[in-house]
Structures are given as C-alpha cells and as structure tokens.
A and B are shown apart, each in its own frame.
Chain A
C-alpha cells in the first residue's frame, strides 16, 4: 500500500499516497507577480548567474536575469492559493468546487500545474509536518 522511493542518500524511505496531497504549497518569496488582463498574470523569478558565465563566454551567451512565466486566469487562480496556508488537497478541492469538476479532474490539472511550477522554481511544496504550516 506504500510506494518505496529513494531518499537521495542511497537509502529508501516509504511514501504513502496521502503525503503529496498533504504537502503545503508556497510561492517562492523572490517571485514577482504582475497582473495581466482577463485574470492572468506574469510571474518572474530572478536567476542566479552561473559562475562560469564570465567574459568572453558571456559575450557570446546572453544571460537573462529573470525567468518569466505567463499564466492564464486558471493558473493565476491556483497560484493565489499557494499561500502557505493551504494543503495541495485543499487547493484541488477549492478548484474542483469552483469549476464544478470532479476531484480527479481537478487533481490531474492542478497536479500537472504544480509540478510545472515547482520545476520552474516558482512554487515550493513543503512536507506534511504541521510545523510546515505557518
């Protein structure tokens, strides 16, 4: 009944199916939001300049100081709920209730969205401990 996944130290830890849903979602404090029309927004995240990117390499490889992600109205709505007060499960429930979706429909779309946001460093999911909830 439990998934076994590597913990990054070579050992193995057990992850129950409830744990990802009970994580708390935070937006990266460094992220800047700029609202757009129709409920959408642009989120920009400052990027760390790689140490090796010095002249003359930097003359050839342009470096952008920020990563910008444009979100539509639905994405912006989910991002607003990533305030460190809501579990992923609550975000999915709210999204499903608002848009008349089943839990699974909402889970698929919100889950995929949060995965992309975490990969881009905009959202952080913090484990299930109650201490994580501010």
Chain B
C-alpha cells in the first residue's frame, strides 16, 4: 500500500497481523486518516459497502449524511458535516491487487477538498519490483528480498527496531534498528558500542571498519553456542552486526544478520538496502491560541 500524505501527518497506528490491514495517520491533535484494506476474490458492490457504513454512522447518531461528490476516479464515499468538523468515508476496489480499500479522513476545522482528493488519488497498491519488498514507516526505510517477512516490530521513543525472518525454520534472521539522540546515549565510540551490544554468550571473531551508504561504519562478527549437541556437529549461531552514524539524520543504524550455520562467516542479505541521509524532519512551529 502506498499513500502520499502531508508531512505533519505521522503514522500513529499500524496493524498487519489480521485482515483487514490497517494504518492510521495523526497530526498533533487528531487522527486524520485511517486506511484499512482487505483482499477480495471478486469486485464488490461499493454501494452496498457504503450502505453498511451509512447504517453504522446513523446508529452512532450521525445525521445528515451526504454522498461524496468530486472524489477521484474509482472512489465512492459519504460525508458527515457538523459544527466540530467533517468526516469523509470513502471506499475503492483496487482491481490489480484485488483489495477493497476503506479510507476515513477527518477535517477538524475547514475541509480541504484538494488535499483530500490528492490523498485519496495517491492510495495505490505498491508493486514489489524484482523480488524485493519496500518496508517504510516511522522513519525507517529499507528494501529486502521478498523471502523475508516482518516478524516483530518494536517502537520506543526515538528507537525503531524491526525483526525479519524467512519461512525456513532456523533460517537467517535480520534485525534493523534506527536510534535517535546519539549525542546523548552514544558515550563510547561506535566500535565499543557494538561490542556492548553483542550477546554475552557470543565470542568475538572479527571486528572491521566498513562503509555503509558512504558513511564510515563498524562491523562485528561473533559466534555463539546453540546447544552441546549442535556443537558436536559444529553448528553455531553466527551473528554479523553493522552500525553506522548518519550525521545528516543524526541517527545510528544498527543492522544484525544472524543464522545457524557451520560456516565461519556470514554476510548481510545481498539485496538489503537501508536508506539514510534523508533530511531531518522540519518541525513546524505553531503559535497556540
């Protein structure tokens, strides 16, 4: 799913575990855009889908519902206007991907029809090119082979971490982290910080200087025991950690590839691209009142 939205609408909620898949964008005060989508085998009757929404809104006491006029091609919708603002509810079937998309826009003050249409028109199913998938949210943007899937996402203040794994049992795993406020917590050189991050049970094999996206980085290769039985057949967990500081974003990127293997060495997935060097977000100053 791809959507273009104003920079001040940030991803506030994302759920990809059960259908319908859903993400919500919010500005400083309100949830502004909610998109949910589900795969369907056949093209649905959008009028029936809208009727269902209309009934739900009416049940919640929303009166004076009107049909959405002037929506981009393929979109049908209803809108509810009140003193507090406007609620726009639109649906569309994306034929190529076979997705029924449900979009809700909230306009707390005046409704911006041009922006509304631009947002709705930008909602498309994203094609994954050449077997790679784009993963992009919460400031982290990376491309990775389609065989990897997101298994865990961890988001704390200024720290976003995603874990990827393949469908194979004991297959390779990948963790990508993006950490803010490095001037505060990175008290030791990156090289020493990488050693601190290494699991206690692991043994350091090699530490090198590397270059990532044009930045000087550090890499650390280590190996850890899995079990005595696995050691007998020389199986161990190999772990390669790479970290670099992007001075433009003022973020530390930390990528960890691990696999259970007999090989002494391990490398990052070949088609992994972690994007950095995007300009820092501009914080718009508002005068309250």
Q: Does chain A bind chain B?
A: yes
Q: Does B61 contact A (CB under 8 A)?
A: no
Instruction: For the complex, give the distance between the alpha carbons of A108 and B285 in Å.
Output: 17
Question: In the complex, which range does the number of interface residues on chain A fall in?
Answer: 20 to 34
Contact with B along A87-109 (1 / 0, CB 8 A): 10110010011011111111111
Q: Is the CB of A100 within 8 A of B288?
A: no
Q: Does A1 contact B (CB under 8 A)?
A: yes
Instruction: For the complex, give the distance between the alpha carbons of A121 and B286 in Å.
Output: 28
Residues of chain A contacted by B26 (CB below 8 angstroms): 104
Contact with A along B174-212 (1 / 0, CB 8 A): 000000110110000000000000000000000000000
Given A103-B10, A105-B180, A130-B289 contact (CB < 8 Å): yes
Q: Is the CB of A109 within 8 A of B157?
A: yes
Q: Is the CB of B288 within 8 A of A74?
A: no
Instruction: For the complex, give the distance between the alpha carbons of A101 and B139 in Å.
Output: 10
Q: Does A21 contact B (CB under 8 A)?
A: yes
Q: Is the CB of A17 within 8 A of B29?
A: yes
Residues of chain A contacted by B180 (CB below 8 angstroms): 99-101, 105
A111 (CB) vs chain B CBs: closest residue? B157
Q: Is the CB of B30 within 8 A of A2?
A: no
Q: Does A29 contact B (CB under 8 A)?
A: no
Residues of chain B contacted by A74 (CB below 8 angstroms): 181, 184
Instruction: For the complex, give the distance between the alpha carbons of A123 and B232 in Å.
Output: 60
What is the minimal beta-carbon distance from B156 to any residue of chain A, in angstroms?
Answer: 9
Q: Does A22 contact B (CB under 8 A)?
A: yes
Q: Does A7 contact B (CB under 8 A)?
A: no
Residues of chain B contacted by A2 (CB below 8 angstroms): 84
